[in-house]
Structure 1
Amino acid sequence: MVLRVKASALLISLPISLVTLPLQAATFFFNVASTPLLAPSALHHQLKQLAPQATPEALHMAAEALSCADPSAERLAVIDYSLPSSEPRMWVFDLHQNELLFEELVSHGQGSGDALAETFSNTPNSHQTSLGLFRTMNSYYGRNGYSLRLDGLEPEVNDLAFDRAIVIHGADYVSEDFIDQTGRLGRSQGCPAVRADVTYPLINSLKEEQYVFAYYPDEEWLATSTFLNCGTESQLAQR
């Protein structure tokens, strides 16, 4: 938007040296730039257009959470743990470029279930997966190779993720070959592990202040989640 304001309307606030300028040479232009912020419905539509094969409810909840936390976010990963591990259930979106970057297999924790994840927690040493909205941190090299730290944003739901070392990393047990042999992926100690072949590009697309949303139709979490029930106000400012 461009606003044009005549100097004659601003004379009382201008330095004397500027007031002496010829009036016809003193027309000022102010450019006001703003980043478009997507409402939940618009973001949901964008996600559905980019990943029509994803579960609509998972995308809807992801849009609600991200619109609450950071409407101008650039990248978002959505994990749908209502699907079996033998199916692609992780989608990584570039929201600014309107692109689907990855559609991938992703593991769940040993304590969460077999082929299907059914139990989730925030408890240390449970080897269970956590739900909710995470903000990504830095990448690093650890015992699982190239990895990405996650900061859980939801109190009592996933806010112990950093302390539990819940990270995105690559794993040999996340592969089509493993599915062919066992009917499911291998399981982690609670981490969302991905195929070894995509570890570097996927982590690099998400590291440093991006978002991951892990979904499951858990009634208690859906009813009480900080980011699914915030209305139009961001709860992130409270952290």
Structure 2
Amino acid sequence: MVYNFFTSVLFLFSSFNGPAPKTETPVAETVTHLTETELLYNSINAHSESMPAFDCFQKAIEGYNLLKEEGKIKKDLLTVIDFTQSSNTKRLWIIDMDTRTVLYNSLVAHGRNSGDEFASTFSNADSSYKSSLGFYLTGEIYSGKHGQSLKLDGLENGLNSNARGRGVVMHAADYVSDAFIRAHHRLGRSQGCPAIPEEITAQVINLIKGKSCLFIYHPSYDKVSKILS
């Protein structure tokens, strides 16, 4: 009985002094809040063997969305060329923005005066034989010296706006192949055109023709972009 009496008194005393102090709980794991672009990148990447660098992809999506809002893009396709990567790797991607899938991942050439294995300098000038960075709309197919080719319209003044006048087009080239890389230790180069392998050219240009979006990226674009400035 004495024990029960003192137990009750202690209980009442502790009740008047408020609840017992809380013990320290473990720190919760940090929750990463991904952006919409990061979620999209991860979603596509999960079903693709490779992807452009995220910085390149992020800018491609930003420009694509802006051009889409302006009504300039007529197809939900985004072609990305990532010149941060070696010409010996597949650095061109065609992404279906509806299904969030990579339809093509291919080798692609850069201009002969833009660099050897890596493209590092760019121009919008006639006869520069350099690639031009930035956003393009795909045009119409025509038959030229490289067979069926796709005209391109540059959308950024001073960067690629002279593409049609320079004859910068997407076309087939026999020097864009694994065999050429094995023989020369680098991909062949163009006069500024994003040339692609012969065996996929017909399918690719028929797919992306008619005002789809093409984006060619190098880190130097960040300082000179007209669309994303």
TM-score range, shorter chain: 0.7 to 0.9
1:226 aligns with 2:226: yes
Runs ≥4 in structure 1, deviation > 6 angstroms? none
Q: Do 1:172 and 1:196's aligned partners in 2 also have CA atoms closer than 8 Å?
A: yes
* 1:43 Cα offset (Å): 4.7
Could you say if the C-alpha distance between residues 48 and 160 of structure 1 is closer, same or farther in structure 2, counting changes exceeding 3 Å?
farther
Query: Any residues of structure 2 matched to 1:1-239 within 5 Å, and which?
Result: 41-43=35-37, 45-51=39-45, 53-71=51-69, 73-218=75-220, 221-229=221-229
CA distance in 1, matches of 2:226, 2:202: 31
Q: Secondary structure at the match of 1:155?
A: coil
Q: Secondary structure at the match of 2:55?
A: helix
CA distance in 2, matches of 1:223, 1:115: 23
Could you say if the C-alpha distance between residues 122 and 85 of structure 1 is closer, same or farther in structure 2, counting changes exceeding 3 Å?
same
Could you say if the C-alpha distance between residues 209 and 43 of structure 1 is closer, same or farther in structure 2, counting changes exceeding 3 Å?
farther
CA distance in 1, matches of 2:43, 2:170: 26
Q: Do 1:138 and 1:149's aligned partners in 2 also have CA atoms closer than 8 Å?
A: yes
Could you say if the C-alpha distance between residues 45 and 123 of structure 1 is closer, same or farther in structure 2, counting changes exceeding 3 Å?
farther
Q: In terms of Rg, which structure is larger?
A: 2
1:6 corresponds in structure 2 to none
1:34 corresponds in structure 2 to none
Q: Greater share of strand residues, 1 or 2?
A: 1
- Residue-by-residue CA offset, 1:205-231 (whole Å, 9 max, x unaligned): 11001010000000xx313412212xx
Q: Secondary structure at the match of 1:203?
A: helix
Calculate the TM-score normalised by the size of structure 2.
Answer: 0.78
Q: Secondary structure at the match of 1:112?
A: coil
1:33 corresponds in structure 2 to none
- Residue-by-residue CA offset, 1:33-82 (whole Å, 9 max, x unaligned): xxxxxxxx535532443245321111011011111211575111000011
For structure 1, the 5+ residue unaligned runs are 1-40, 230-239
CA distance in 2, matches of 1:208, 1:44: 28
Could you say if the C-alpha distance between residues 169 and 47 of structure 1 is closer, same or farther in structure 2, counting changes exceeding 3 Å?
farther
CA distance in 2, matches of 1:77, 1:119: 21
Q: Do 1:48 and 1:56's aligned partners in 2 also have CA atoms closer than 8 Å?
A: no
* 1:83 Cα offset (Å): 0.8
Q: Secondary structure at the match of 1:177?
A: helix
1:30 corresponds in structure 2 to none
Instruction: Give the stretch that moved more between structures: 152-161 or 48-57.
Output: 48-57
CA distance in 2, matches of 1:43, 1:145: 37
Give the number of equivalent residue pairs: 187
CA distance in 2, matches of 1:216, 1:155: 17
Q: Do 1:89 and 1:106's aligned partners in 2 also have CA atoms closer than 8 Å?
A: yes
Q: Do 2:51 and 2:93's aligned partners in 1 also have CA atoms closer than 8 Å?
A: no
CA distance in 1, matches of 2:151, 2:209: 8
Identity of aligned residues (%): 37
CA distance in 1, matches of 2:111, 2:123: 10
